[in-house]
Amino acid sequence: MNRDESKKDVIIVGGGPAGLTSAIYTSREGFNTLLLERGVCGGLPATTDMIENYPGFPDGISGSHLIEKFKKQALRFGTHIREYEAVVGIKNRNNTIEVTTSKQSYHARAVVVGSGSIPKMLHVPGEEKLAGRGVSYCVTCDGPFFKDKHVAVIGCGNSGLQEGESLLRYAKSVTFVEFLPHMTAEKILQERLQNRNNTKFLLSHQLISIEGKDSVHSLVLKNLETGENKKVDVSGVFIYAGFVPDSKFLEGIVKLDDCGYITTNDRMETSVSGIYAAGDIRAKKVRQIDVACGEGTIAAVSVRDYIHQLDSKSVDKKKTISTRSD
């Protein structure tokens, strides 16, 4: 790569809804935009079987199809997308942001971080050992492997119940396990699944361990009300126990909250000039696709204003130097 090819106007970190939306806007503005994604574009939504609450799709749409539309739109306006290129570091050097990946370094005038979050591991015995052999974090990826099997879903938030509903297309039965004494998912999801005859809900239960030699064969759960442990026979377990921010490459660079999420103002500006954040990586309460898109838009508009401000300062500086020379 020659030096010119490494220089961009804008670099987007993360190819989820926030990153792709930012890329659509910055590319439409005529900025040379590069989007870097550590895996394939889509983030968590791409692994969601059916999305019912994104406006404009009254019958719902699969996460992979929705993301494909986002990606095509970004490409149409000229966004350069590099998948399987993880960002490992970012530095601000005199109005130029240096972005280092697993393969090389780039330089940009502004950066939008939309790296999102990754599934949270519970770190219980058997989880790591049996990952990919009955332990999964993605129904879209692994659900078909459990056709006519008894499986469990850990977590009764929106993600757990949405993915559990998709899992019922394959599995013989699904047992939902929740640490809290109540479910936190939307009421419509709770009602829909509670009315199924092949679902079971174990509230106030904690996953203690995942048992199996070569593959999952059972779970050990603790009843938090009685203190007793019991074994539940299943062939697989899908864990939806929350998420952690993908922000390790930003530690010591921008301000993060106690959980590792990026703090910004309402213009999506971080604590470092020229670096913006949008989507699930931000410190906030609501994490939804449409929210991420809105934040991606705001970040892109802020980037536009920031770059125009840099250009204005550069012109003023040249005028001052020219006047002094005269």
Q: Per residue of the chain (326 residues), what is the pLDDT tens digit? A: 444 678 999 999 999 999 999 999 999 999 999 999 999 999 878 877 788 889 999 998 988 999 999 999 999 999 999 999 999 999 988 779 999 999 999 999 999 999 999 888 999 999 999 998 999 998 888 899 999 999 999 999 998 999 999 999 999 999 999 999 999 999 999 999 999 999 999 999 999 999 999 999 999 999 999 999 999 999 999 999 988 999 999 999 999 999 999 999 999 999 999 999 999 999 998 888 999 999 999 999 999 999 999 988 766 566 555 555 55
* pLDDT for 154: 97
Give the CA distances from residue 295 to residues 178, 188, 268, in Å, rounded to whole numbers and listed in that order: 31, 27, 7
Domain ranges (residues) in the chain: 4-118+243-325, 135-239
CB 102 within 8 A of CB 52: no
Whose tokens are 């377990």? That residue is 237
Rounded CA-CA distance 48/289 in Å is 11
Name the CATH topology of 135-239. FAD/NAD(P)-binding domain (3.50.50)
CA distance linking residue 236 with residue 239, whole number of Å: 10
Query: 33-37 and 80-83 as β-strands: parallel, antiparallel, unpaired?
Result: parallel
Residue 31: both structure tokens together: 């900025």
Q: How crowded is residue 275: how many other Cβ atoms within 10 Å of its Cβ? A: 26
pLDDT at 321: 58
**The two structure tokens encoding residue 55:** 């406006």
pTM of the model: 0.80
Domain 4-118+243-325 shares a fold with domain 135-239 = yes
What is the C-alpha separation between 244 and 119, in angstroms, rounded?
Answer: 6
Question: What number does CATH give the domain 4-118+243-325?
Answer: 3.50.50.60
Q: What per-residue confidence (pLDDT) applies to 324?
A: 58
Burial 56-92 (b: 16+ CB within 10 A, else e): eeeeebbbbebbeebbebbbeeebbbeeebebeebee
Label residues 234-254 b or e (16+ Cβ within 10 Å = b). Answer: bbbbbbbbebebbbebbeebb
